[in-house]
Structure 1
Amino acid sequence: MVGRTSNKRLAEIVRLRKFRELKKAERKALEMELATLEWKLRELQVGPQEFSSSKTQGGISRQLSAYQLAVDVLLHVNQSLRSKVKDTKTLAQVLATWVTSHHPQITPTTRLTWTDTTLMAHPVARRQGFHWLSERLYHAAIRGSEGLSRNEFDKFVDDSMQFEMHTTLNDDGNVQITRMDLHCYNILFEKFDTIAATAWNFLRHFSFGAAWLACNVEIDRVHGKLVYDHNVNPRDRTSLRRILCMFEEPNRVVITLTKVKDDELYALTPGERRTHGYAWYVIERLTDHMTLMKHSYINYIPTTLAGEISLEEFGELFGLLRPTDCHQVRYIESIRSAAERAYIGQIQEGVNMYRQYLLGCKSGELPCSL
């Protein structure tokens, strides 16, 4: 509100300045016209002969006076235009700053610092960690979902998905994969409360891996809407430990899934490959019988006791054979294509399973309450 008031005040100042400059220019023009009329009046009053003789004597000075007046007017107009350009530039910069402050960047940074937080073994610190990590992800979800609504999905009405793989250069100058993102957008013709309840129950039981749906086992429960669970992908044997939390608002529900990398109570074991990252579901009421669901999945390279798995091991997760040549860029592109197919196919399967679950809840065959 303060920013909006200051912008209005600045716009009013610019408008008044332009008005005053316009009046000054009009005054200069009137002065020139007045000088011309006075000259013509004098010619009529003294007669043609007297005026002719006086014209010879003072013509040069009068011409210089008129020329100087014209130069003054042109200089004033030039300065006025420069001032307008400067004011417009200042206003544009202020508005750009205001827009940026209200609309942050859409996609998160390559790695949010809090995602490397270790979950403590001490019971009190552990419970606090559940809350703290979930709240950090909740705020990231709000920013991220608002950005996607403005820029990525404005043109869509039907369900849509967008995949992106991020890369960077390592210390040796080679390209390496840092993370993979999938952003999804669904419109569901059902009541908001029903979607929120069924989505929570569905996510409690199922987790979406790189190319497989895994069933979750609850390990800890802080309360009914904050739990810690675990699963192992039956296809590639990667493990996942996640904090699942629900944040409720009158017309919006946010479900966060923090995929924990380091846990003192459940440390990495030899041979274990643990996936980590985060995901969120933002469920918003559109009408009484129409609900919008935006969900994003951010996954980093699985880690082991020795660190992140190699590029070749990562490719094997998507069914790729180890490369026989040294064309790393080509191999990374193969991973990108395979990962995109796997992620989109697996998430689409999950969405279809959820729709079937929703129908079962509506028919009374399955429970859908929180």
Structure 2
Amino acid sequence: MQHVDPLLLDTDEMKKFFECMRLRKYRADRKAVKQKLLQDVQRLEAELARLQLCSRKAKATKVPATALLDHNKSLRAHVDHQGRVARLLAAWVASHYLPERMPTRAGWIESTLVANPLTRRQGLQWLSDRVYHIAMQSVSRHPIGPSMADGVRAHVHLQDENSDDDDGLQIGGSEAHIQHTFFANVQDVANVIWSWDQCNCAYGSEVTEVVDNTLVYYRGNTFSGVSLRRVNRMYNEGHRVVFTQALVAEDECYAVADDELRIHGFVWNVIERVTDSVTRVRLSRYHAPPKTKHRLASVEEVAKLYMRPTDCDTLSRLVLAQRLRETVENMYNHVSNDFVRSMAKILDEQGQV
């Protein structure tokens, strides 16, 4: 457009010129406002689309989350119900359980550990192997059964040497069994149990001989005052670890004293891998009747370790034996449950480190 100098125009032409300029500016302003409004509309439409998309995503995830929560609650209620049923059935089955007799009293249980160093070391290994073989034969027939259910069971056996007279009643031995599943690796569980057993205050034992880091001989006293000599050994088979304890009846280096009661028998503990983070522990403990220097301990002698002296002096042998059985069985159950709780606590603390 050709440039016109307003000073050269007459009055009418000047008015037309300024009117034209005003209209031109007006149209330019309107066009700028329109463009700005179009840009605002495009920006707002994009924002609206984004918000609508987020809303649809939130709704899409909210519905399954609610459904999953409801399903989880339903499953938990079902598991709780099944658990109550299982506990009732377990109690019913336990009420019909008749304790089996103690394992056959094999001659090796009464073996004497000799003083000769070379023969003695072979004896420690031989006794441990005997317990290991019993464990392998017995683990499939564990008293708690083939299930994975946790449990503790204890029983004291009485035997009547003279059926016509209660005076013949004697302690036939005792047994305790534990089965428990720990949520930890098999090696971690084995290490904790091995370490715990070395410093178990219930035994009050001290190390007497160390053959290697898997075979150790201890001597000491239980919290009830009965002495014991125990050979601890570890058999690590990868998928499972087996601990054995041979409770030595006679030791030429530590003869039974005149006023001593000594426990003998054996213990085995099979620690099996279920998964990388789940381990089943099965433990069985068999104690033969405590023995003195010259004979097996009487009911009265054993009762004095666990009961009040007045009961030992006033109760008949039959009543005393039954009370002793109840006391020892309760003690075994208490100690076994303490063992399980201690192991679980230690493993939980290790898992949090």
Q: TM-score, normalised by structure 2?
A: 0.66
Of 225, 232, 248, the match for 2:221: 232
Instruction: Please list the CA deviations of residues 270-291 of structure 1 after superposition, one character each: whole Å capped at 9, or x if unmatched.
Output: 3222111111110001111100
| Cα shift at 1:249 | 0.9
| Cα shift at 1:343 | 0.7
Asked if 1:355 corresponds to 2:344, the answer is yes
Of 309, 324, 331, the match for 2:314: 324
Question: Which residue number corresponds to residue 300 of structure 1?
Answer: 288
Aligned partner letter, 2:188: T
Question: Which residue number corresponds to residue 182 of structure 1?
Answer: 176
Aligned partner letter, 1:153: G
Q: How does 1:83-98 map to 2 (within 5 A)?
A: none
Aligned partner letter, 1:322: C
Aligned counterparts of 2:153 and 2:321: Cα–Cα separation in 1: 19
Question: Which residue number corresponds to residue 136 of structure 1?
Answer: 130
Asked if 1:169 corresponds to 2:160, the answer is yes
| Cα shift at 1:358 | 2.7
Question: Which residue number corresponds to residue 6 of structure 1?
Answer: none
Aligned counterparts of 1:191 and 1:267: Cα–Cα separation in 2: 41
Q: How does 1:1-370 map to 2 (within 5 A)?
A: 109-148=103-142, 152-155=144-147, 157=149, 159-170=150-161, 174-206=168-200, 213-233=202-222, 235-320=223-308, 321-326=311-316, 328-363=317-352
| Cα shift at 1:117 | 0.5
* Residues 284 and 291 in structure 1, CA contact (< 8 A), matched pair in contact too: yes
Residue aligned with 2:319, SS: helix
**Structure 1 consecutive aligned stretches of length 4 or more whose deviation exceeds 6 Å:** none
| Cα shift at 1:215 | 3.3
Residue aligned with 1:265, SS: coil
| Cα shift at 1:225 | 0.2
Counting matched residue pairs gives 249
| Cα shift at 1:204 | 1.7
* Residues 323 and 331 in structure 1, CA contact (< 8 A), matched pair in contact too: no
Residue aligned with 2:179, SS: strand
| Cα shift at 1:170 | 1.8
Residue aligned with 1:214, SS: coil
Structure 1 residue runs of 5 or longer lacking an equivalent are 1-105, 208-212, 365-370
* Residues 192 and 290 in structure 1, CA contact (< 8 A), matched pair in contact too: yes
| Cα shift at 1:362 | 3.9
| Cα shift at 1:168 | 2.2
Q: CA RMSD in A?
A: 2.1
Identity, in percent, stands at 28
| Cα shift at 1:112 | 2.2
Structure 2 residue runs of 5 or longer lacking an equivalent are 1-99
* Residues 241 and 272 in structure 2, CA contact (< 8 A), matched pair in contact too: yes
Residue aligned with 2:146, SS: coil
Aligned counterparts of 2:348 and 2:319: Cα–Cα separation in 1: 44
Q: TM-score, normalised by structure 1?
A: 0.63
| Cα shift at 1:316 | 2.0
Mark the structure with the bigger radius of gyration: 2
Residue aligned with 1:357, SS: helix
Aligned counterparts of 1:340 and 1:278: Cα–Cα separation in 2: 18
| Cα shift at 1:301 | 2.1
Aligned counterparts of 1:109 and 1:214: Cα–Cα separation in 2: 24
Instruction: Please list the CA deviations of residues 135-156 of structure 1 after superposition, one character each: whole Å capped at 9, or x if unmatched.
Output: 01001011122101xx633355
Aligned partner letter, 2:332: Y
* Residues 301 and 314 in structure 1, CA contact (< 8 A), matched pair in contact too: no
| Cα shift at 1:313 | 1.6
